Structure 1
Amino acid sequence: MIDMPPLQFAQVNGIRMGFYEAGPKTDVPPLILCHGWPELAFSWRHQIKALGEAGTRVIAPDQRGYGATERPEAVEAYDLEHLTGDLVGLLDHLKIDKAIFVGHDWGGFVVWRMALAHRDRVAGVVGVNTPHFDRAPADPIELLRKRFGDSMYIVQFQDPARAADKIFDSRVGQTFDFLMREPMPRKEALPAEPATAGVGASSKLNLAFPQMVAGYDAKYDPRKPILSGEEMKVFVGTFSRTGFTGGINWYRNMSRNWRRAVELDHTVKVPALMIMAENDAVLPPSAADGMERLVPDLEKYLVRDSGHWTQQEKPEEVSAKLIEWRRKRFG
């Protein structure tokens, strides 16, 4: 039995947003949990339950383009100004002054930007796997193209014909079966390389995810699934209805986000926690090296034996760390 609070809705920033809430409304500052790609508020199901039961107010939205939240047509409607504006609108709807923003994967980029663009609404920030980077020295898509080639999934996502969207949309179950697994056991860690444009993966990795999904057969995959059959049905059922384009549009704004951040001070001036996953191949712990320069009030925490889907792979450990850090820093 999957334990989720009732789905609620709010009109925010020109769209209708679906969200879940647990814990006492009197608890401040609350935690806002922001998912990544291709995920949902449901990705935080373990944390919603654990934090709510611990007496912490916790709110998890389906973000713009995902799940129960609307999916505007225009690609530009998915830039970081809109994504952070949605979270400000959610705070306004709930009459919350400030919150601690917790983001995994793409949600991490959103919550770090919240601390830069809407600092007056941010009590603290937690990055799960996603570190905070300074503005890239050049257009991030061109940097990724140069480093990984045209087959790299983020570069492929820029294709106006949306070929990658069509591959995922036509193979929803296969997509989640391929993605939502623990990493292969590795005797040695990947060689640490400096992160480029928010992707810290080794250039030796095959990152042609659309083609990997298209050719995928679970029979030959030794990796362990991280979702139960019931949990898999939630992801597959939702994305079969919504498609993947809304979430992929976040990637289609990377160059726009980079251009529009030219005047932004990238120093994070609130307390921050960086939760790193030992075996995340795309966002390895080494990607967070040197973060202290931009995030002076920073604690780092390493989750061992976890791949990319950290809050789902190691739910008790992630929940416990969030509760401990929040109590330590905010009472």
Structure 2
Amino acid sequence: MFNPTDFPKPTLISVNGVELEIFEAGRQNAGNPIVLCHGWPEHAFSWRFQMPALAAAGYHVIVPNQRGYGNSSRPSEVTDYDIEHLSGDLVALLDHYGYEAATFVGHDWGAMVVWGLALLHPNRVHNVINLSLPYQERGATPWIEFIEQILGSDHYFVHFNRRPGVADAVLEENTFRFLRNLYRKNEPLREPEPGMAMINLARAETPLGEPIMSDSELAVFVSAFESTGFTGSINWYRNLDRNWHLLADVNPVIEQPTLMIHGDRDPVARNENLDKFVPNVEVVNLDCGHWIQQEKPEETTQAILKWLAQQASA
């Protein structure tokens, strides 16, 4: 387990009309940037195991709390969390450090942002490494509408959009319980229960499976969300249909060399057409659930370093 006091101290950087809380390692490796993008409901701290190893391998490791998270800005307008703003933050971050391009690594929603960044600003992305969430192709129907048709109005993506503020309040009232119950592994298979999954999780008195982190590690996440609430981070979901429209005229093929890391027990569905949209992809599967880089830190780090070394020698 990781001692939270070993995590780097942050700096606040003004970019793209917001302030981002940035954690760094390997500043002495200026010129070789790698940017790590967390998912929901996470924090830069989710990359705690990868940062020192990447710095030791010669990378300047830049890890933002993205807008809506931690001590970064939390704009009040929902549309300030669309893919143009989120990818624009990362482009502005490169500009701040004087980098033309970087390798970008994303997990979960962070992966969604990295895919979007590679589509909207391809010349700023050197390599793509994404965990859990594969490339999401833009079908004929906006994403929330599509999910509602397939999975119904109780699916949390749909609920976040159709009933704004409801889940935010429940998660805020039960921050510790929600995060404790969410960050688990080896959970037993069970019948889906009626209602909205995230609200059910926040209200469940007993967690299932095993924790993926120590109490002191969990406290970092709990403290962050007790301070911010969840609305800023949930607003990312409230832009899915807006993002669908924003990406209408963008070339949907990602040409950059890409590493896709899946957890074998991750409930996130794989994309059977991945290599159609991401032709230069290599796929790695690890024996874990959704929280890949925290469940299997050593294996994740080694997969990333091995692939990066192959790219460097290619």
TM-score range with shorter-chain normalisation? over 0.9
Give the residue type in structure 2 aligned to 1:215: R
Give the deviation of 1:34 after TM superposition: 0.3
Q: Secondary structure at the match of 1:155?
A: helix
- Show CA shifts across 1:147-198 (max 9, x none): 1111111111013541000000110001101110004256xxx9xxxxxxxx
Instruction: Give the RMSD, CA atoms, in angstroms.
Output: 1.9
- Residue 65 in structure 1 maps to residue 62 in structure 2: no
Match status 1:238 vs 2:224? yes
For the 8 Å contact 1:38–1:247, the answer to whether it is kept is yes
Looking at structure 1, the residues matched to 183 and 131 of structure 2 have their Cα atoms a distance apart, in angstroms, of 16
TM-score, normalised to structure 2's length? 0.94
Which of 157, 160, 163 is residue 157 of structure 1 equivalent to? 160
Structure 1 residues 168, 272: closer, same or farther in 2, change over 3 A? same
Deviation at 1:238, TM superposition (A): 0.7
For residue 196 of structure 2, the aligned residue among 208, 231, 239 is 208
Partners of 2:192 and 2:151 in 1: CA distance: 8
Separation in 1 of the partners of 2:37 and 2:110?
5
The answer to whether the 8 Å contact 1:167/1:210 transfers is no
Distance 1:259 1:317 in 2: 37
CA distance in 1: counterparts of 2:312 and 2:31, whole angstroms: 8
Q: State the partner residue of 2:149.
A: 146
Counterpart-to-counterpart distance in 1, 2:193 and 2:104? 30
SS of equivalent to 1:157: helix
SS at match of 2:29: coil
Deviation at 1:57, TM superposition (A): 1.9
Give the C-alpha shift of residue 53 in structure 1.
2.5
Aligned to 2:59: 56
In structure 1, C-alpha distance between the alignment counterparts of 2:202 and 2:188, rounded to whole Å:
24
Q: CA deviation at 1:113?
A: 1.1
Q: Residue 178 of structure 2 contacts residue 203 of structure 2 at CA under 8 Å; is this kept in 1? A: no
Shift in Å, 1:214:
4.1
1:322 aligns with 2:310: no
* Alpha-carbon distance in structure 2 between the residues aligned to 1:204 and 1:148: 12
Q: Distance in 1 between matches of 2:134 and 2:195?
A: 20
Percent identity over the alignment?
39
Report the more deviating stretch, 68-77 or 209-218.
209-218
Distance 1:206 1:39, change over 3 A: farther
Note if contact 2:29-2:58 (Cα within 8 Å) is conserved in structure 1. no
Q: 1:253 is matched with which residue: 216, 239, 242?
A: 239
Q: Does 1:87 align with 2:70?
A: no
Name the count of aligned residue pairs: 310
SS for the counterpart of 2:211 is coil
The corresponding residue for 2:177 is: 174
Alignment CA distance shift 1:178-1:58 (3 Å): same
Q: Deviations over 1:229-278 (max 9, x none)?
A: 11111111110000000110000000100011110111001110100110
Q: Residue 215 of structure 1: CA displacement? A: 3.0
Aligned to 1:6: 9
Q: Secondary structure at the match of 1:288?
A: coil
- What CA deviation, in whole Å up to 9, does each residue of 1:88-147 have, x standing for no partner? 011011111110111100001100111111111110111101111221220111111111
**Among candidates 272, 278, 292, match of residue 275 of structure 2:** 292
The corresponding residue for 2:205 is 217
CA contact (8 A) 2:101 2:126 kept: yes
| 3-state secondary structure, aligned to 1:227 | coil
The 3 A distance-change label for structure 1 pair 217 and 47 is same
- Which aligned pairs between 1:108-127 and structure 2 lie closer than 5 A? 108-127=111-130
| Structure 2 Cα separation of the partners of residues 69 and 313 of structure 1 | 26
1:310 aligns with 2:281: no
CA contact (8 A) 1:280 1:307 kept: yes
Q: Cα–Cα, structure 1 residues 132 and 25, in superposed 2: closer, same or farther, change >3 Å?
A: farther
1:10–1:16 CA contact under 8 A, matched in 2:
yes
Q: TM-score if structure 1 supplies the norm length? A: 0.89
Structure 1: tracts of 5 or more residues without a match = 191-202
